[in-house]
Amino acid sequence: MKLSAEKIQEYFKVFDKGVDRRNTDCVKWDCNLSIFGREDVLPYGVADTDFEVPSTVKKAMMERVEHGAFGYTIFGESYKKATADWMKIRHGVDVETEWVFFSPGVIDSLTMAVSAYTEPGDKIAMFTPVYGPFYSVINQNECELCRCPLIKTENGWQIDFNLLEEIFKKGVKIFMLCSPHNPVGRVWHRDELETIHELAVKYNVRVFSDEIHSDVILPGNKHIPWIDIDPDGITLISATKAFNIAGLRSSSAIIPNEDIRKKVTSEFDKFRIKGPNLMGLVAQRACYETGAEWLDALCMYLDENRKMFEEYMTSYLPEFGISTLEGTYLEWIDLSALGLDHDETRKWCADKGVGLVSGTDFGDPEGLCHARMNIATTRSNLEEGLKRLCSK
């Protein structure tokens, strides 16, 4: 979809305005004291955005509110079709509606899938540093973590495939993929995913792919869904990150293999994870049916934020290591040049009036003296935070 210059500017004005989230029970904006130990920081932590949802999504939700009844709800065909159509139009992959089922969240799905396919003590591998709840999924299922650290190179973060194969040889049962990768912002290329798949087949490893950020792809990059690589894998998606509807708790699991699908859904039933959030379904369907143009503009806006971030960091803090962001709106910063320990590094940021996510939330030692910064905010708010961070 090609947006005119006029249309882009129209959307950019909306994003520049943003939405004031203070005093709305917002985790990002109303928990500074408990998270950072002080009220006066600008928060760039929690991975949601400071933008209103598309007007078409608000309209769909308001129309449903006007109906006035909010009883028990099914994940009906219209919601499944919206998901399948989105995967075809947005990502170019064919999805049958019967492959799609509801989950309140991607991590819920990941937890149930791991529970269905592991026993305590089984080995689970993943690239690190990685989104913190991945560790919780492994611990909750009493499995053994096998780390495959990503390699920082001049050409960005790369996979150590030799190490990955050595890990798989040890009897790994599950590989949990984060695609795009949070926190380093890589959008995996097809050849990288195909190599992961070849190794997984060779060593009988199942791959479960968290693709919650798959709609936040910056210009010049392309997301390849795992479902396009592996018909026996599990692909987990949601509109929550891109469209700022995380509080509505709605996501989709896509599992083409019927036997695998039944095994995972039975795990949901065992733990009585059922009964969708009605408004979450309405919002997600509206995002998928009407939000493509808005999302195109958002990714362009985020790319401009990325450029601002890189300009500030390279101009004023060139000693800090930053990644080349390809997907997500989450910047990964190496602050080790400060020469401080990890707690002192985190305090240094807060004392500057900038609230970032601690790097060790994504793994220790990989995240030591690192931090993650969410740039999905208004241009003016991002600039103020960068000025604070870069001030002498």
280 token code pair: 């979450």
**Angle at the Cα of 289 (from 285 to 292), degrees rounded to 5?**
120
For 163-169, what is the mean pLDDT? 98
For 21-48, what is the mean pLDDT? 94
pLDDT given at position 128: 98
For 331-343, what is the mean pLDDT? 95
d(CA 119, CA 11): 49
| β-sheet bridge partners, residue 102 | 252
Instruction: Examine the pLDDT at 46 and tell me if it is beyond 80.
Output: yes
Long-range contacts of the stretch 1-7 (C-beta < 8 A, 24+)? 1/292, 1/293, 1/296, 3/293, 3/296, 3/297, 3/300, 7/293, 7/297
Residue pair 384/42 in contact (Cβ under 8 Å)? The answer is: yes
Instruction: Tell me what the pLDDT averaged over the chain comes to.
Output: 96
pLDDT given at position 267: 93
pLDDT given at position 155: 86
For 112-125, what is the mean pLDDT? 97
Instruction: Examine the pLDDT at 272 and tell me if it is beyond 90.
Output: no
| β-sheet bridge partners, residue 53 | none
Place of tokens 């998270």: 35
d(CA 87, CA 237): 10
Instruction: Examine the pLDDT at 273 and tell me if it is beyond 90.
Output: no
pLDDT given at position 163: 98
pLDDT band at 222 (very low <50, low <70, confident <90, very high): very high
d(CA 16, CA 134): 33
Model pTM? Answer: 0.96
**DSSP for residue 317:** -
Q: Which residues contact 197 (CB under 8 A, 6 or more apart)?
A: 207, 229, 230
pLDDT tens digits, residue range 75-113? 999 999 999 999 999 999 999 999 999 999 999 999 999
d(CA 323, CA 152): 9
Instruction: Examine the pLDDT at 266 and tell me if it is beyond 70.
Output: yes
Instruction: Examine the pLDDT at 209 and tell me if it is beyond 90.
Output: yes
pLDDT given at position 392: 78
Instruction: Examine the pLDDT at 117 and tell me if it is beyond 80.
Output: yes
Q: Which domains does the chain have, with CATH numbers?
A: 5-55+292-390 (3.90.1150.10), 70-290 (3.40.640.10)
d(CA 61, CA 66): 9
| β-sheet bridge partners, residue 172 | 123
| β-sheet bridge partners, residue 206 | 174
d(CA 304, CA 11): 13
d(CA 181, CA 185): 5
Percent of the chain with pLDDT over 90: 96
Instruction: Examine the pLDDT at 1 and tell me if it is beyond 70.
Output: no
Q: Which residues contact 109 (CB under 8 A, 6 or more apart)?
A: 103, 234, 236, 251, 253, 264
